[in-house]
Structure 1
Amino acid sequence: MSKMSADYSLYLVTDRIQLGKRDLAHSVELAIQGGVTLVQLREKSISTREFLEIAYQVKEITSRYKIPLFINDRLDIALAVDADGLHIGQDDLPLTKAKELFPNKLIGVSASNLAEALLAAEQGADYLGVGAMYSTSTKSDAKLVSLDELELIKKSVSIPVVAIGGINQQNVQQIMDTRIDGVAIVSAILAQDDILQAAHDFQTLLKSNR
C-alpha cells in the first residue's frame, strides 16, 4: 500500500477556542467548502474519549470531501480513526517510532530552525511545519522563525514545507514569497464570522501566487 499524496497549500489546524459556541465539525466543513486542502485536528486539553468522538465526526466530513485528515500528536487517535496522517512536535513521539507504528501514512514534523528541519527530513518526515512565523494567541510560548530562516529551510530540504503561526490575509503574501508549499491557518479562518468566505479569500490569494 502506498501513501496518499496531499495538497498542503491551505492547511487548516483546528482550535475549538477560536470557534466560540460554533460546532467544530460544521466549521471544518465550511472551511473545506471555502477551499481548505488539508485538515489537522488539534486538541490539547480534552479526554481521549472526547477527542476520539470529535475525530470520528471530522473524519466523516473530510472523507466525504476527499480531504486528508491529520491528527496532531496523538498516534492512538490517528490509528483509531484511520487518519491519513499524523503531525508531531519536537517533544512528541519520535519520528522513527511514529513511522514504525503508523506505516504507509503521511507524518509531518514541527521545526523551528534549520537543524530540526534537516534532521526531520533525514529521518523520513513527509513534510515540515515551520514556525511560529508571527506571534499567535494559539501558542503563546512559540519561538519565532524569521522569513530568511523559512526560505533557507525550504531551499535545504526536498520535502514540502508548510509555515504556521499567526498567518493572516495581511501577511500571507510575504510568506508565499519564500516559495514554500503551503500555509497552516488557525484563527484567520476559524475565528472569522464567515468561515467559508475566509477560507475562500485565502485560496484566492494563494492561487494568485501559483
Structure 2
Amino acid sequence: MKDIKEELTLYAITDRGFLNGKTMEEMVSEALLGGVTMLQLREKDLPEEEFLEEAIRIRKLCRNFDVPLIINDNISVAIKSGADGVHLGQSDLPADIGDLKKQGLIVGVTAKTVDQARKAEEMGADYLGVGALFGSATKKDAQSITFDRCREICESVRVPAVGIGGVNADNIKELTGLHLRGVAVISALFNQEDVKKAATNLLELVEKYIKTT
C-alpha cells in the first residue's frame, strides 16, 4: 500500500452532473489517465443497487491504475463493492469507526473545526477533508472556512488533510503554506472539456505549490 500522504495529492470527486453525455466509467478513465491519485465516487441520488453496481465497475478501473477508490458516505456500498475506503461527513459519522478500520478500509472525515479534526484523529481517521476553502460550485450549502482556520486544523493533528471547496487551477497557488497534503477537486476536473489534460495540469500545480511546502 502506498503512503496515504502521496495518494491525497490529487483527489478527484465525481459528479454525474458533469457527465455531458459520457458514462461515469469514461469520465473516470480520463481522470485516471491524467494522473489523479485518489478517486471518490459520490452518488447522492442513485438507488443503492445501482450505486453498488457502478462502484464495482469503477473499482476495477481504479485497480488498473493502482488508485484507491473511496465511496462517499455509504458504508454498505464501500464494503460490498470492495472499495478501498469511505469518506464520511460529520452528520454521517458513526460513534466508532473501529469496525471499518478492522475491515481494512481507508476512512476519511470532513472537518471544519479544530475540535472536529482532533476528534476524527482520535477515532482513527486516515485523512481529513478540510473546507470549503473557496465556496463550492457543486455543494451550495457548503460552509466556507478561512485559510487561517485551515492552517490551524492542519497544524493541530498529524492526520494528513486535503483542501476542498472551489479549488481550481487558478487558485491552487493561494493554498501554499497551509500544510495541506493535496487538493480535492470536482468541477475543476470533471467540468472541463479535456478531463485528462485538466488532471495533468492540476497535478503539476499541486506538486509545485502545495507538495513543496
Q: TM-score scaled to structure 1, two decimals? A: 0.94
Aligned positions, number: 207
Q: Is the 8 A contact 1:168 1:185 kept in 2?
A: yes
Query: Secondary structure at the residue paired with 1:91?
Result: helix
Amino acid at match of 1:85: G
What is the alpha-carbon distance in structure 2 between the residues aligned to residue 170 and residue 58 of structure 1?
29
Secondary structure at 2:198's aligned position in 1? helix
Shift of residue 5, structure 1, vs aligned partner: 3.8
**Structure 1 partner of 2:185:** 185
Contact 2:10/2:38 (<8 A) preserved: yes
CA distance in 2, matches of 1:53, 1:20: 21
Partner of 1:99: 98
Task: Indicate conservation of the 8 Å contact 2:167/2:188, yes or no.
Answer: yes
Aligned to 1:198: 198
Q: Which runs of 5+ in 2 are unaligned?
A: none
* Superposition deviation, residue 101 in structure 1: 4.0
Tell me how large the CA RMSD over aligned residues is.
1.4
Aligned residue for 1:33, secondary structure, equals helix
Q: 1:47 is matched by which residue type in structure 2?
A: P
Q: Distance in 2 between matches of 1:81 and 1:122?
A: 27
* Cα distance in 2, alignment partners of residues 58 and 46 from structure 1: 15
Contact 2:100–2:107, Cα closer than 8 Å, also in 1: no
- CA 1:95–1:69: 2 relative to 1, 3 Å: farther
Q: Is the 8 A contact 2:183 2:206 kept in 1?
A: no
Measure the CA separation in 1 of the matches of 2:95 and 2:155: 22
Matches within 5 A, 1:35-114: 35-94=35-94, 96=96, 98-103=97-102, 104-114=104-114
Post-superposition Cα deviations, 1:140-190, rounded to whole Å, max 9, x if no partner, equal 111101100011111110010111111001111112331210100000000
| 1:99 Cα deviation from its structure 2 partner | 2.9
Structure 1 residue aligned with 2:8: 8
Equivalent residue for 2:28?
A: 28
Tell me, which stretches of 5 or more residues in structure 1 are unaligned?
none
Conserved 8 A contact 1:79-1:102: no
CA 1:108 to 1:170, structure 2 compared with 1: closer, same or farther past 3 Å?
Answer: same
SS in 2 for 1:184: strand
3-state SS, counterpart of residue 208 of structure 1: helix
Query: Aligned with 2:110: secondary structure?
Result: strand
Shift of 1:18: 1.8
